[in-house]
Amino acid sequence: MKTIKWGILGCGDVCEVKSGPAFYKCENSALLAVMRRDARKAADFALRHNVPRFYANADDLINDPEVDVVYVATPPGSHAELTIKALQAGKPVYVEKPMGCNYAECLRMVEAAKTSGQQLWVAYYRRSLPYFLKVKELLEQQAIGKVQTVKVEFFRPPLLSDIEKAAHTWRVDKKIAGGGYFYDMASHTIDMLLFLLGQIKTASGIVGHVGGLYAAEDTVSASLLFESGVVGSGLWCYVSSDVQTKDLIEITGDKGIIRFSTFDFSDIEYITHAGTEKFGFPKPEHIQQFMIQSIVDELSGKGKCPSSGESGALTNRVIDLIFSGNAGSI
DSSP string of 25-89, one letter each residue: HSTTEEEEEEE-SSHHHHHHHHHHTT-SEEESSHHHHHT-TT--EEEE-S-GGGHHHHHHHHHHT
First vs last C-alpha separation in the chain: 56
Q: What is the structure's pLDDT at 7? A: 98
pLDDT of residue 325: 62
SS3 201: strand
- pLDDT at 159 (0 to 100): 96
Coil, strand or helix at 6: strand
Predicted confidence at residue 166, as pLDDT, reads 86
Regions of the chain short of the pLDDT cut 50:
326-330
Strands 147-155 vs 231-237: parallel, antiparallel or unpaired? parallel
pLDDT at 330: 35
| Cβ(271)–Cβ(265) below 8 Å | no
What does the alpha-carbon distance between residue 138 and residue 257 come to, in Å, rounded to a whole number? Answer: 10
